Amino acid sequence: MKLSLDPQAINDVLDGRWAEARRTGRSLALDPTTHDDPADDLETARAKTLTGVGMMAETGLPMTGLPPQMGGKNEHATNVAGFEETVTANPSLQIKAGVQFGLFGGAILHLGNSEQHEKWLLDSQAGRLLGSFAMTEIGHGSDVASVATTATYDPKTEEFVIDTPFRAATKEYIGNAARDASAAVVFAQLITAGVNHGVHALFVPVRDDAGDPLPGVTIEDDGYKGGLKGVDNGRLAFDSVRVARTNLLNRYGDVAADGTYSSPIESPGRRFFTMLGTLVQGRVSLDGASVVASKLALDIAVRYGLERKQFTAGDDSTETTLLDYGQHQRRLMPALASVYASAFAHEKLLTSFEEVFSGADDSDENRAVLETRAAAFKADSTWMALDVIQECREACGGAGFMAENRLVGLRADLDVYATFEGDNTVLLQLVAKRLLGDYAKEFAHLDVGGAARYIGTQAAEHTLYRTGLANAGRAISDALTPNLGERRIRSGRLQRTLLETRLDVMVSDVAQALRPATKMSADKAADLFNTHQHELIEMARAYVELEKWKALDEKMREQTDADQAKVFRRLRDTYGLSLIEKHMAWHLMYGRLPMSRARQLNETLGRLCAKLTANALDLVDAFGYGHEHRRATISTGIEAQRQAEAADYYRRARAKQDYPVDEKQLRKAAKQKAKAAAK
């Protein structure tokens, strides 16, 4: 059952194209300063994380995205890959560095002009100019187009006046704001000459050199959160704060000295979504960070599961470890498979991100596919991480609940990944909208008031392109051959057919149900969408699952080493069959899977998990993490040591013959004696 694998070779596949950046990123975990400590108070944790941000600047990774003339490489995925790996040091570091270099720096890079780059970008990417990304407001979380902060142009002084008109317009959950930022990129409704030109971004200083809020700026501290203690989230409010006209990041919209507005993109909606699109990096990096956190958790739980014995007698004759148990395998092996699938899917996402942002292929179509995938993968992977970490936590029992074993901290930190950079349910509706648009043109331009809101405003004025879904809307009958029942349930073709068919049917069913919306009043259309919101979200998840399965399937086909290819096949089958089991009701309800095959699935999955378990250690070794990344007491071999000590004690005691007789044995012996005597 056990295959002969080389973990380093698998690690090379996993670390992939950006292996060097990944290894640089995870090297930050070597310095204890970057580590989370539950005993740290808020200020200590924040100060340590800031030090980590400085260390990140020193690696030079934040500079790679800059144009060559500024010392950069015009490489965009490199720093993302590097940042993701800092989750091994501390998720707070990944987020704080992400805010500083990816969001604050990224906004200046993508929305600013070259003068602004000179003025702020080098300082930002070197960690000298600390900044916030002030988009979200209390009153508007996911609905960014509705932010209420205003930037009103005053032609007399050639300044913008920034205002928070009411409490709900306060910028909220802003990273770096509570403690460190001296400036913020603020998203506000740009008003000039009595006209509101929609949301634009401005560079706004918020603190003076002494670290105190500038006049008109109110800063509040969000205080304790469910996790991410090292990130100083806070609230920003503005009262007639004036900034120079040239502080408007003006790539997609500018105001002349006299107050005249101009923009290279005529449609205000399209302009807004183009601006937002440049910020897709955040979602891409959360997808990758979720994979890293899941790897760490599995690395810890698998090692412990291979050592820890349960329900063994006092002697050392029984060797049953946790991972020998069928249920334990069923908890951890599908998780392992989904992490492998997600890692390879993420690599494809990064590749597409690099293509778009380096300019290698920045067609509108490629950009749209990137945005759809980033939204879809971010939603699925952040939820996966929460599930995987929790499964690992419980699989480690009471030890899993101890802070020193890392799992509870990782889960607490990752919790909000499901919410920020776009709430997962909102993102999945955006994906659903794209899938519908691919399926039939009338959905592509469906933006009737309320209805559009229900499936994500962002889609409203966006030109839609194919999502990369190969055959959305093809005839279902093509996908099935009459002799399906005779195929082995593990057949890759069967898995693909089932996953693809399910998505196809879901899309055409939902499209059918929603078609009347195109001819309805906005209110009624909204109601109709609302009735089908659950199916829209399920449909979007079916899309991600298929994409991830395909990524793992492709990677499997690339393997040349026989055993390595075989273990990849086991991973693919475990992932694929887990998905089919999860949606079994659907496959049965739509007659896609014969009952006889369906009933085999549980047993087949059980056998696959047992096979994967034989190489479980190789598969976590392949993550490339050492103790300095895991830092969990239970994954250090301490458990095996304790057991050896206990076994040794019993052995010696028995050898000395001073081991007390067990009462049960005594009774048994007495009974046998009595029996013998009776005879």
Tell whether residue 674 is a contact of its own copies (CB under 8 A): no
Q: Kindly tell me which residue out of 326, 485, 516, 637 binds its own copies, with binding defined by CB under 8 A.
A: 326
The smaller minimum CB distance to its own copies, of residues 210 and 585, is found at 585
Q: Are 208 and 214 contacting, i.e. CB atoms less than 8 angstroms apart?
A: yes
Q: Kindly tell me which residue out of 32, 223, 264, 485 binds its own copies, with binding defined by CB under 8 A.
A: 223
Within 369-388, which residues bind its own copies (CB under 8 A)?
386
Q: Kindly tell me which residue out of 8, 114, 196, 672 binds its own copies, with binding defined by CB under 8 A.
A: 196
Q: Are 578 and 337 contacting, i.e. CB atoms less than 8 angstroms apart?
A: yes
Within 14-53, which residues bind its own copies (CB under 8 A)?
38-39, 41-42
The alpha-carbon radius of gyration of the chain (Å, integer) is: 28
Only one of the segments 52-60, 317-325, 480-488, 539-547 lies at the binding site for its own copies (rule: CB under 8 A); that segment is: 317-325
Within 78-137, which residues bind its own copies (CB under 8 A)?
136
The smaller minimum CB distance to its own copies, of residues 75 and 159, is found at 159
Contacts 24+ apart (CB under 8 A), 44-47: 45/92, 45/229, 45/230, 46/178, 46/179, 46/180, 46/229, 46/230, 46/231, 46/232
Give the SS3 label for residue 187.
Answer: strand
Cα gap 438→444, rounded to integer Å: 7
**Nearest to 504, CA basis, from 467, 534, 531, 533:** 467
Query: Is 500 among the residues known to form the active site?
Result: no
Tell whether residue 314 is a contact of its own copies (CB under 8 A): yes
* CA angle, residues 341, 571, 21, in degrees to nearest 5: 40
Smallest distance, its own copies to C-beta of residue 431, A:
14
Tell whether residue 311 is a contact of its own copies (CB under 8 A): yes
Give the SS3 label for residue 370.
Answer: helix
The smaller minimum CB distance to its own copies, of residues 23 and 515, is found at 515
Within 330-359, which residues bind its own copies (CB under 8 A)?
330
The smaller minimum CB distance to its own copies, of residues 70 and 138, is found at 138
Within 519-578, which residues bind its own copies (CB under 8 A)?
526, 530-535, 537
Tell whether residue 476 is a contact of its own copies (CB under 8 A): no
* CA angle, residues 376, 378, 384, in degrees to nearest 5: 105
The smaller minimum CB distance to its own copies, of residues 206 and 386, is found at 386
Cα gap 257→250, rounded to integer Å: 13
Smallest distance, its own copies to C-beta of residue 315, A:
10
The smaller minimum CB distance to its own copies, of residues 75 and 573, is found at 573
* CA angle, residues 110, 116, 120, in degrees to nearest 5: 95
Q: How many residues bind its own copies (CB under 8 A)?
A: 107
Tell whether residue 436 is a contact of its own copies (CB under 8 A): no
Q: In a 10 Å sphere around its CB, with 0-12 CB exposed, 13-18 middle and 19+ buried, how is residue 69 labelled?
A: exposed
Q: Are 219 and 177 contacting, i.e. CB atoms less than 8 angstroms apart?
A: yes
Cα gap 336→325, rounded to integer Å: 16
The smaller minimum CB distance to its own copies, of residues 58 and 404, is found at 404
Q: Kindly tell me which residue out of 209, 319, 486, 645 binds its own copies, with binding defined by CB under 8 A.
A: 645
C-alpha 396: how far from its chain's center? 23
Within 484-523, which residues bind its own copies (CB under 8 A)?
none
Among residues 159, 421, 545, 547, the one annotated as catalytic is 421
Within 610-629, which residues bind its own copies (CB under 8 A)?
none
Q: Kindly tell me which residue out of 120, 273, 420, 443 binds its own copies, with binding defined by CB under 8 A.
A: 420
Tell whether residue 71 is a contact of its own copies (CB under 8 A): no
Cα gap 419→383, rounded to integer Å: 10
Q: Kindly tell me which residue out of 294, 381, 457, 495 binds its own copies, with binding defined by CB under 8 A.
A: 457
Q: Phi, psi at residue 171, to the nearest 5°?
A: -70, 135
Give the SS3 label for residue 513.
Answer: helix
Binding mask 139-178 for its own copies (x = CB under 8 A): x-xxx--x-x---x------------xxxxx--xx-----
Tell whether residue 211 is a contact of its own copies (CB under 8 A): no
Tell whether residue 220 is a contact of its own copies (CB under 8 A): no
The smaller minimum CB distance to its own copies, of residues 152 and 358, is found at 152
Q: Phi, psi at residue 134, to the nearest 5°?
A: -100, 85
Within 257-296, which residues bind its own copies (CB under 8 A)?
268-269
Only one of the segments 60-68, 201-209, 423-431, 491-499 lies at the binding site for its own copies (rule: CB under 8 A); that segment is: 423-431
Instruction: Give every CB contact of residue 13 below 8 A, 6+ residues apart in sequence.
Output: 555, 559
Q: Amino acid letter at 524? A: K
The smaller minimum CB distance to its own copies, of residues 26 and 583, is found at 583
Q: Are 199 and 189 contacting, i.e. CB atoms less than 8 angstroms apart?
A: yes
Q: Are 424 and 383 contacting, i.e. CB atoms less than 8 angstroms apart?
A: yes
Tell whether residue 656 is a contact of its own copies (CB under 8 A): no
Smallest distance, its own copies to C-beta of residue 121, A:
28
**Nearest to 344, CA basis, from 659, 139, 575, 174:** 575
Instruction: Give every CB contact of residue 407 below 8 A, 6+ residues apart in sequence.
Output: 297, 300, 301, 389, 392, 393, 396, 400, 632
Tell me the catalytic residues. 421
